[in-house]
Amino acid sequence: MLPAISDAEIQTYRSRGYLLLESFIDAGWVEALSAKTDELVDASRVADPGDWRFDTEPDHASDAPRLRRINSPVDVDPLFETFSLDGPATDIAEALLGPDVRFHHSKLNLKWSDGGEEVKWHQDIAFWPHTDFSPLTIGVYLRDVDEAMGPMGVVPGSHTGELFDLTTPDGAWTGSIRDEDLPRARTEEADHLVGPAGSVTVHNCCAVHGSQPNGSDRVRPLLLQTYSRADSYPLLGVGTNGLGTRRAHQVVRGSAPDHLEIDGRRMPTAPDWFRGSYTSIFDVQQRTHR
């Protein structure tokens, strides 16, 4: 199969740490994903407060929904599951990371009209440390997105630069780069990625990125899915936004490695125990043949 994106695009991702692929996803997919998103927004009107699927703004109401995010869409509907685990987004991940690719998590950031909240400058790797820096996030705009809508902004080349603390000086987690560090993060150089519905953003886990509030009268749905190389492991199982579901961490292209190299030593990998296959050392040792 031909790679989903060109060699030049792959080189651009490697050197700049991000990509914009305008109008990349075909209209059929965009319409289907968008219709499903509308259905879920309707479901949020009558959902119980605290429904795990929805992250809402404080003034969300049944007659005037204001969603920040739909959590883990792959666990919410099979359409999102196919798109992220064996669809066009997986194809892009394979072109950039392949042949062996692991899925980490997904989310659908709505950024509602008339003031949908900003995402402050940050680097994703601090939220979910991995054993390498291969993780990347692929975003798909489900509507046309312009500058006024708080598009994804990424600082070119920041993926190979300083890794910033996302805490206060006394160590409290803020999830954003400290104000005094922002000049070093060169955020004024950010490229704000706009494009028609179906446009794709890709950013590396170390790239400094963020987005402004949505000042327009249109919602800005951005479907985000994160992948890594299959031999990259999330540390402490953290970072699927608290949802360590069956789908998280699965290998979606190629196969899982049977060995890893750590500190220059080759060691065997363990099965994916989080899938529920672990019983106990007694059980597994007595059950298996030598």
Ligand X SMILES: O=C(O)CCC(=O)C(=O)O
Q: Which residues bind ligand X (CB under 6 A)?
A: 109, 111, 119, 124, 152, 209, 211, 222
Smallest gap, in angstroms, from Cβ of residue 197 to ligand X?
16
Tokens of 137: 């996030």
Smallest gap, in angstroms, from Cβ of residue 222 to ligand X?
5
- Residue (of 209, 254, 208) closest to 228 by Cα position: 254
Smallest gap, in angstroms, from Cβ of residue 11 to ligand X?
24
Query: Rounded distance, CA 84 to CA 103, Å?
Result: 8
Q: What are the strands, taking DSSP E only, across the chain?
A: 18-21, 54-56, 67-71, 101-109, 119-122, 136-141, 152-154, 191-193, 200-204, 209-211, 222-229, 251-253, 259-262, 265-268
Nearer to ligand X, 84 or 231 (CB): 84
Nearer to ligand X, 100 or 141 (CB): 141
- Residue (of 100, 125, 101, 74) closest to 235 by Cα position: 125
At residue 141, the 3 state secondary structure works out as strand
- Residue (of 98, 103, 87, 71) closest to 24 by Cα position: 87
In sequence order, what are the beta bridge partners of 201?
Answer: 20, 139
Give the orientation angle of helix 78-86 with respect to helix 88-97, to 10 degrees: 20
Nearer to ligand X, 98 or 213 (CB): 213
Query: Rounded distance, CA 34 to CA 50, Å?
Result: 24
Smallest gap, in angstroms, from Cβ of residue 209 to ligand X?
5
At residue 38, the 3 state secondary structure works out as helix
Nearer to ligand X, 107 or 229 (CB): 107
Helix-, strand-, coil-residue percentages of the chain, each rounded to 5: 30, 25, 45
Smallest gap, in angstroms, from Cβ of residue 227 to ligand X?
14
Nearer to ligand X, 156 or 254 (CB): 156
Nearer to ligand X, 174 or 279 (CB): 174
Smallest gap, in angstroms, from Cβ of residue 152 to ligand X?
5
Nearer to ligand X, 74 or 152 (CB): 152
Residue nearest to ligand X (CB): 211
Smallest gap, in angstroms, from Cβ of residue 160 to ligand X?
19
Nearer to ligand X, 75 or 100 (CB): 75
In sequence order, what are the beta bridge partners of 251?
Answer: 102
Smallest gap, in angstroms, from Cβ of residue 150 to ligand X?
6
